[in-house]
Every structure is written in C-alpha cells, then in structure tokens.
Amino acid sequence: MKWIPAELHTHTLHSDGRFTVPKLCACAKRHGLEMIALTDHNTLSGLDELTDELSRETIPVIRGIEWTAYYGHMLVLDCGEYVDWRDVSQGDMDQKIRQIRANGGLVGIAHPFAIGSPLCTGCCWEYEVSAWEQVNYIEVWSGEFPALHRGRNGRAEDMWQSLLDRGFRIAASYGRDWHADAEDKAPWGCTYLAVEESTPSCGAAALREGRTMVTMGPRPIAEIYDGRAQREIYPGCTIPAGNPLSMRLGMDMEERHGEWERFHFIPELAQVTGAGGRILAEARLDPGAHLQFTPPAGHFRIVYRGQVMGKPCAIAFTSPYYAEA
C-alpha cells in the first residue's frame, strides 16, 4: 500500500471550470498530484475525454459528477448508472443516496458549510439525511487555507465529528473545488489516498474503505502497527479495542514541497483524538514521534498541529480508525 496525493473535486469547461480536460490533468500532474476525480456540475460529458493514454501518461482520473442541486452539492464518484438529481426534494435525499450506492457509486457531501443561495447556489448542505451509513465521505476541508476558515470548515469538522460519535463510519476528504489554475497566496490542500496501485478503481476503493488523510501541506505519516494482530493499520481499519498500537507519527517534509514550502509549515504536535474530539494521546513531532497507544472502543483519528504562515492551526488529519470491543 502506498499513499498518493489526490484532488477529488475539479471542474472543466464541461461545466463552469476554465480547464479543458487534458489541461486539468496536466495541471494536476504539474502540482505533484497523482490522481484526480473529475466532478463537473451536473454532467458526465467530460468523462468521454478520458482515455487510457491520459490515465497512463498524465494522471489517473476517477469518474465523477458534482450533483449541483438546489439545497446542497454532492460528489458522486465511480457510479455505474447515472442517477438523476433534478427531482430530488429536501426530504428524499436518502432514497437518492441509496440508489447511488446500489449502482456501486460513492457518495461524498461537498463543502457542507459554504455560503449558500443566492451567493453560491445550493452550496450549503440543507438536505435531510438519516441514511448517514450510506455516505462514504464528507469534504471536511475545502478551499484555500482550510484550517483558518471556521465558518466553512470548522463547522464541517464539527458535523463530521458528531456523525462519527453517533457511530457512522465516514471518511474525510479535502476539495479544492478546482475551477482554474490561479496563483496561490495561501496553501490549498489535498487528500492522500492509500492505494495498492495508482488506478482510478484503487483510488475509489481507498475512499470507499476510508483510507484517506487530509493535509494543507506536508504528507502526514501515520505508521501504526498492531503487534498483537501483527499487522499494519490504516485509516478506515477496524481493530480490536485494547490491542496496544505502536505508532510512528510525523510529516514528510520533502514530498511535494514545492507546493507548500513557501507557506512555512512548522509541524509541532500529533494528537490522537476520540469521541467529542477529546485528546487521548499526544506526542511532539520533532522531527518524528513514537507513541504507544491502546485504543478504547470507538473511533479515533490523528490530528497534526503546528504553524502555517505564522498561524497556529491544524495542518492535517487522518480519517478515523475504528476500535471494536
């Protein structure tokens, strides 16, 4: 298994983006990304431009669409059959989500706390959902300098945390919501996916199984070993509660550094957090850290903190690991 950086929320001229499909792919590669999801608003037409050659020579692309509906935006990836969004009402999103899942698709809630209509039409999530067990991921961080935006991303983190606390297994993603290549004045982010191979289907499987990490810059390192079960643990894994885990935590300060080093990342601390975001263990990241941690029943995840552009903030976090009694 290897970790690859991905951008899972992109637009082209097939909707309101400024990229052609090949230009988007080339631009993603130039930014050191190793996979993208193409998620144009309400259309699949851009997917017809994806070729084996583009995937092999430039970047593998997960097939997707952004449901740009009236009361929320939803990322639908790798779905066998087109499921129509145009007749969804605020009360029957559950049924649509089930239909997507029945067709093999992945469901991700996009930027749930973005400013909504009419400034950004349908951008804030206002659909009723009770079938949260059908939702694969939430775009917990989106946009520029995500950790700073409490209104947009802090509230999405709180929403995600409370769903995890209720027992739902939901992965996290970052979405740049990439429409054009602009000059960076602050860090963006990416989603790291743990994949067997760099293919769209392995990328989709990582999201489906919750093997993701989100960062604004350096790649988080979470090498976690369950000595009793003699296996390496990835986000999304289910492990027995009470098994002592040996963790090597850090941040890779080399990978893609051209993308983020000018924003001055100083990693300081890794925290293992559980229900309610409570800190269960922590270690200083200087330069790496070893931690022995025995999880109680429930979910836990790792948050990497430090400074970015002189501001103290979270730099990265993993999707949850699940410990069962």
Partner 1 sequence: MNEQILFTLDRPFRPAEQNQTYFFPIMVPARCEKLTIDFSYDPKQLADGEVFRNMLAACLSKYMPPPYSQELEGLPVEKIPLVNLLTVSLDASDRRYIGCAHRHPPRQRHEISAGSASRGFRPTEIQEGTWRLGLQCHAIVTDPVQVNICVKGVFQ
Give the residues lining the site for partner 1 (CB under 8 A). Answer: 13-16, 40-46, 48, 68, 70-71, 82, 84, 86-87, 113-119, 121-122, 124, 148-152, 154-155
Contacts of 165 (CB under 8 A, 6+ apart): 275, 276, 299
Q: 3-state DSSP call for residue 277?
A: helix
Closest CB 96 distance from partner 1, rounded Å: 14
Contacted entry of Zn ion, partner 1, none for residue 256, CB cut-off 5 to 8 Å set by kind: none
Contacted entry of Zn ion, partner 1, none for residue 13, CB cut-off 5 to 8 Å set by kind: partner 1
Contacted entry of Zn ion, partner 1, none for residue 177, CB cut-off 5 to 8 Å set by kind: Zn ion
Q: Based on CB atoms, which residue is closest to partner 1, 41 or 257?
A: 41
Q: Based on CB atoms, which residue is closest to partner 1, 95 or 294?
A: 95
> In the set 14, 31, 63, 73, which binds Zn ion (CB under 5 A)?
73
- In angstroms, the CA 234 to CA 244 distance is 15
Q: Is 14 in the site for Zn ion (CB under 5 A)?
A: no
Closest CB 86 distance from partner 1, rounded Å: 4
Contacted entry of Zn ion, partner 1, none for residue 73, CB cut-off 5 to 8 Å set by kind: Zn ion
Q: Is 177 in the site for Zn ion (CB under 5 A)?
A: yes
Q: Of 224, 217, 223, whose CA–CA distance to 313 is shortest?
A: 217
Q: Of 16, 67, 8, 73, whose CA–CA distance to 38 is shortest?
A: 8
With CB atoms as reference, the residue minimizing the distance to Zn ion is 73
Contacts of 106 (CB under 8 A, 6+ apart): 75, 76, 77, 78, 79, 100, 136, 137, 204, 207, 208
Closest CB 14 distance from Zn ion, rounded Å: 12
- 3-state percent helix, strand, coil for the chain, nearest multiple of 5: 20, 35, 40
Beta-bridged to residue 290, according to DSSP, are 248
Q: Based on CB atoms, which residue is closest to partner 1, 47 or 275?
A: 47
* Angle ∠(147,234,286) on CA atoms, nearest 5: 55
- In angstroms, the CA 271 to CA 247 distance is 11
Residues near Zn ion, by CB under 5 A: 66, 73, 110, 177
